[in-house]
Each structure stands twice: as C-alpha cells, then as structure tokens.
A = this chain, B = another copy of it.
Amino acid sequence: MQLTGEPEVRPVFRSSGTGELFQLLRDGAPRTRADLIAMTGMARSTIGGRIDLLLDSGLVAPAGGAGSTGGRPPATFAFNPSSRVVLAVDLGATHARLALTDLASRVLAAHQAPLLIAEGPDHVLAWVVAQGQRLLAEAGREVGDLLSIGVGLPGPVEHATGRPTNPPIMPGWDDADVRGILADRFGSAVLVDNDVNIMALGEHRTAWKDVSDLLFVKLATGIGAGIIADGRLRRGAQGAAGDLGHVAVPDGGDVLCRCGNTGCLEAIASGQAVADALAAEGVGVHSGADVVALVRAGDLRASLAVRQAGRRIGAVLTTCVSLLNPSVIAIGGIMAGAGEHLLAGIREIVYQRSLPLATQHLRIVGSVTGPDAGVIGASVMAIDHVLAPDAVDLLVG
C-alpha cells in the first residue's frame, strides 16, 4: 500500500469506521466492548465486527487476564505498539541516522554513519535499503512487519509528492522519487519531509507534547524552522514553511549569500558563517563544529562571535514571534551545542523587540531531544500517517 500524502485538514465528523474505533484505543488504555459501545453509540454487532478486524490486523490485542482464555472472546483490548515496526531515516549533508522503532516510536535498533548526501539518490537510497534490512534482521523482524517508512532530507521537499525541490546542497536529488524507490524495495508507505520538520515533530512529541504552539529552529550549516501550531506540524501550501535561511536580517548589510541575495540569515549567522568570520580574525576554525568546540573550551572570541550570531538570529525570530506567537522556541542543530552563549544573544533581541503579549510566556530553550530528534520525528510522521483513521480503514479492511 502506498499512500499519496499526509491527510491535511480533517473533516469534523468522520464515519465511525474501524479507523475511528482504533483512535479510541491508541492511547494504550485497555477497554472493554461495553466501554467502546458507551463511548461511540455504535451498535453491539458493529463494534464486534470492527474489533475482530483490528484483532486480525494485530494493531489491537487482548489485554489483561479475564476472558482471554477458554475460547471466549477476550474481555478487554488495547493498542499493541509492538505489532509492527517503522523505519526512521534522518539524512544530513554528511551524516545519516537510521532507527527501527515500534508503533510508539520507541527505538528497537539504530545505526549511524558518515554519508555524503551529494553522492546522489541512487547511492544513498541503496545504502538506506541495505541498512534498513540489517536493522530489521538485528531486531528479529521481517520486511512484512514494516508499517511505514519516514525519511528526513536536508533540503526543501514537496510534502505531497515526497520529492526534493531544487535542494541547494543535494546535487542530483531534484525531483527524485524517494518515496517510489523505497516503497518498491520495502512494499510499505513512505513519508518524506525536510529534516527540520521531522526534528520539530520529534522535539514536540518527546519534550513538549502539551505545548500547542512551538517553533523549532535548526542552526547548523543551514538555518530552518519547523512550526507546531495548534498542536500539529504546519507545512504551508507547498511544504516550504519554515525556510528561514534566506530571510533578510534587519540591518544585515551587504554580505553576499550563495543564493544571490545579500544579508541572508544563513550568510550571516550559520555555523559556517561564524567559523569564516572567526577564521578571518586568525582563529583556527573551519566549521560550526570547530566553533562549538572552542566555545565549550571557554574561548572568549568564539563565545562573543556565537552571541553576536544569536542576536542576528534573534532579529529574524522577533518577526516569527510576532507572526506566530509560540510559547516555546526550541533551538537545535549542531550550533545549539554552544549553549547559553547562543541562547543569550537570541533572547536579548527577541525580548527587546517583541510585544509583551507575545513574550510574557515565551520560553527560548535548547533542544531537549538532541541528535535523536530527527529519527523520532521521522517515526512519528510515518506512524501518524498510516494510523490516521482513514488509513487504518484501508489497512485493516
């Protein structure tokens, strides 16, 4: 089964099919037939048939003791997150992380390795297939156990098709059929998004589940944001929401960006930009990672440079705060390793420039989830898509 995109706006009412019944059980609490009848108003015979379909699929299993023996139908049922597995893939510019998770996004097996995205889709996706098969074997699961696959890529992705769109650091990937290639090899649904969106999903689900409005900002070679509004990831009309790297920094001057414009956030405040500025002053750094290492070693010049970059990022985030009014901004990506020096620069400008109503309850914090945010988010995306009500109706009949 290959689905064509994540469901967007849901109708308020949906026919109370098997998928709807399953949503009631997805919180993991065991429930009886009588519970489900009371909760739905469905006829007893209807409930019975739908529970049988869910039991057959394995997504739901008998729970607790009484009634589950002796040939009688089990008395209580619950979501069974170990019934299927999900392959979660987080591809960066130079590094890849893969995880096999259960349906609660718990990691069963994981692998990470250097991998150049610039090697192109044939090479990279063949590697993903091989490693995915290895993880399945390691966890003792079959290809048939795969419910779905979630993939994050370091560039713009048209979410509806899963295809990269003119990705600047991914030569050879423009319009590549990532979904089709992986679906052919694994026979399961494939969801593709940019790396920042999956990190935002992972961070939100792991650390801020009850926060309805969150902005996740990735600061690395590139700069981007993932938007959680009213509890869900918002991707915009073409899936390009959050693409902050080429926003003009107020008073950003005429630093030329690789995109052709001047004063872009990425040209002024990315890890590489900070490293280049320090190198020009004679500091021996080549990358954002070098800068973070110096900051952690207590180097004053590196700390000041990171704080100044934070102010430039803050100048753009003030507009984001005014526009979206989030209650949490979580800063991730490799530059987040610079810690309080970076956060202090961001906070200084955001709290100074934004209106009180938008900042009085705003927290600006480092990412809690760290390097696993991407694979966890890829797993969440892949699970939520295939276990949405309409999709479950298709899945179990």
A contact residues vs B (CB 8 Å cutoff)? 8-13, 15-17, 20-21, 23-24, 39-43, 46, 156, 158, 165-166, 212-213, 225, 227, 229-232, 234-244, 246-252, 259, 261, 263, 315-316, 318-320, 322-327, 353-358, 360-362, 388-389
Contact = CB atoms under 8 A, between A and B. Distances in A.
Contacts of A316: 319
A160 to B, nearest CB: 11
18 contacts: A9-B212, A15-B39, A16-B16, A16-B41, A16-B42, A213-B236, A225-B323, A236-B324, A238-B325, A238-B358, A240-B325, A240-B357, A241-B325, A248-B353, A250-B263, A261-B353, A319-B320, A323-B323
Nearest to A213: B237
A322 B243 contact: yes
Which 8 pairs, one residue from A and one from B, show the smallest C-beta to C-beta distance?
A236-B325, A9-B231, A237-B327, A13-B23, A43-B43, A240-B325, A241-B325, A248-B250
Contact of A40 (B16, B324, B360): B16
A209 to B, nearest CB: 11
Contacts of A230: 8-9, 232, 234
B8 A231 contact: yes
Nearest to A156: B357
Contacts of A8: 212, 230-231
A355 B12 contact: no
Chain A binding surface SS class: loop
A229 B238 contact: no
A31 to B, nearest CB: 12
A251 B259 CA distance: 19
Given A9-B212, A41-B43, 15 more contacts: A9-B230, A12-B388, A13-B23, A13-B389, A234-B324, A236-B358, A237-B327, A237-B361, A238-B361, A243-B322, A243-B355, A246-B322, A247-B319, A249-B250, A323-B324
A185 to B, nearest CB: 28
A212 B7 CA distance: 12
B39 A42 contact: no
A171 to B, nearest CB: 17
Q: Which of A244, A353, A355 has the most CB of B within 10 A?
A: A355
Contacts of A23: 11-13
Given A244-B322, A319-B248, A24 B13 contact: yes
A259 B352 CA distance: 11
Contact of A322 (B234, B247, B318): B247
A60 to B, nearest CB: 14
Contacts of A9: 212, 230-232
A236 B212 CA distance: 8
A370 to B, nearest CB: 24
Contact of A325 (B46, B237, B246): B237
B241 A324 contact: yes
B15 A241 contact: no
